[in-house]
Structure 1
Amino acid sequence: MWTFELTELPVTEFGLAFGLVLLGSSLQVATGVGLGLIAGPSLLLFLDSAAAIQTAIILNLVLTACLLPTELRDVAGRPLAHMCLWACIGIPVGTVLLLMADSTSLKIASGLVVLLAVVQLRFFPAPQAVGPGSHSWVVRVGGTVSGGMTGALAVPGPIALWTLLSSGLNPAAVRATLRAYFFIAYTVALLIHLLMTQRGEGSFSLSLVLLPAVAIGIGLGQAGRNAIGSDRLRLLLEVVLVIMGISLLSRGLLDAV
């Protein structure tokens, strides 16, 4: 089978990965959610676990770095610091779990996480704010679990979003703080992955050839948000996530049989 010479992936698999990263980047820009839930889980269909998650971390880090500067003024410093502190506990734990798990288990776990994220986006978009004392525990648990999911699946978003929404921050502050949290969490996760797995070279090569998909996705996301509207794009995101979640879950279950 013909392969794309820079990635060792068959051309068809590389094309599908490129398309999914482009779609995820577009939806991330247009709706605030997308690449984190699409890149890592989808790459697990083509690559071994460490390479897939490392590549997803790098791509998400680049996208976040491109989008964050326009939102820095709205970042809520204290919630961000608390989230990052607890995430630094969860990320190494998640990385260890990634290294211990086989590809079948990761596909099943990724499928479940993606489908649960769809349920959250559709039915539980904004939890009620909790009091200051209670929220400290929400941040501790949310930061740790989100960090673990970053290290294991490169998916910090659902838990981190839920945690910040429960803090009572306004939407602009939630979006900006979440973006800043992503940047820090993905940076820490990448460093820990490189230290623990020693597999950076292949991931950086694949990330390099997938970066044009991120760049194109940023432009398409901005254009799509203006032309189509964020509500319709959010519906598209939910459809894509349902299809991907079912695909991952069924692939994992078939592998387990």
Structure 2
Amino acid sequence: MTAAAAGLFTAVLLGSLLQRVSGMGLGLIAGPVVSILLGPVEGILLVNVLAAVNATLTAVTVRKNVDWRKFASIAPYLVLGAVPGAILIRHSPTDLLLVIVGVLLLIALSVVTLGKRYVPRVNGALPAAISGVIGGFMNTLAGVAGPAITVYAQAARWEQRVYAATLQPIFVVSGVVSFAIKELTGAADVSALGPELWIAGLAAMVLGIFLGVRIAPHVPSAKARNIALGLAILGGGTALVRGAAGLLG
């Protein structure tokens, strides 16, 4: 196994495990790691596919808690953010994309963690639609739709159990939309990803979900979510530094 495949396996394993426990994790952890290992274009494309498959499998295990009305208020708007994201990818150099991935992730995570106490309560269709647009944009560029949806869910006072479950079909749509738009616009090329990467990613995802199902009853979802956010901050910072070094060098 190559170093890239080994790094991918580790990131996806941990991310899928934490996502099963807390509702989010795969894109947060794997996005910045894979951007550094494989580049921010094909790397994020791989994350988009893995995140969609992972969310599909996870959704099956939590389907009883999914609120389909909440899902429908966000999912259709993901495509509106994915299109400008794909356009930006086509016209940006790799190091700049790494910087953008890192900055977007750190800003979103800052709002989710440090700024959550200041998020006002919201209602209505417009805030949900805005979160969908931002989520689609961030997922296409950085492989992370979760933070934007999380900010809205906190503002709309979603119950944790419903939030963690409803995120899964939203992640399915965001992953499929981001992948399809990047392929259709030529912003990324799935053929650039070798079979070893797909095998490593899928094997790690299945193992992560398997372990997550067994760990979930024993680990508070809030604790798992904090671990995922902490690792994502580290990954986002690393991507930012790597990209900035490339631009300045």
RMSD: 2.3
Change in CA separation of 1:89 and 1:238 when aligned onto 2, cut-off 3 Å: closer
**TM-score under structure 2 length normalisation:** 0.87
**TM-score under structure 1 length normalisation:** 0.84
Please, which of 147, 151, 159 is the counterpart of residue 148 of structure 2? 159
Change in CA separation of 1:216 and 1:92 when aligned onto 2, cut-off 3 Å: same
Which residue pairs with 1:169 in the alignment?
A: 158
Correspondences of 1:121-200 after superposition (within 5 Å): 121-125=112-116, 127-131=119-123, 135-197=124-186, 199-200=189-190
Q: Which moved more, 1:217-226 or 1:92-101?
A: 217-226
Aligned mates of 1:72, 1:219 — CA distance in 2? 16
Deviations, residues 51-89 of structure 1 (Å, cap 9, x unaligned): 111100111011101011233333333332231222121
Q: How far 1:50 sits from its partner (Å)?
A: 2.5
Change in CA separation of 1:166 and 1:239 when aligned onto 2, cut-off 3 Å: closer
Aligned mates of 1:241, 1:138 — CA distance in 2? 25
Aligned mates of 2:145, 2:243 — CA distance in 1? 22
Q: How many residues align?
A: 245
Which residue pairs with 1:94 in the alignment?
A: 85
Check the 8 A contact 1:55/1:204 in 2, yes or no. Answer: no
Three-state SS of the structure 2 residue aligned to 1:46 is: helix
Question: Larger RCO: Structure 1 or Structure 2 (Cα < 8 Å, ≥ 6 residues apart)?
Answer: 2
Check the 8 A contact 2:102/2:238 in 1, yes or no. Answer: yes
Change in CA separation of 1:248 and 1:48 when aligned onto 2, cut-off 3 Å: closer
**Structure 1 alignment gaps of length 5 or more:** 5-10
Q: Percent identity?
A: 24
Query: What is the one-letter code of the residue matched to 1:151?
Result: T
Correspondences of 1:1-257 after superposition (within 5 Å): 4=1, 11-125=2-116, 127-131=119-123, 135-197=124-186, 199-203=189-193, 205=195, 206-257=197-248
Aligned mates of 1:67, 1:150 — CA distance in 2? 18
Query: What is the one-letter code of the residue matched to 1:129?
Result: R
Give 1 or 2 for the bigger CA radius of gyration.
Answer: 1
Aligned mates of 2:223, 2:62 — CA distance in 1? 24
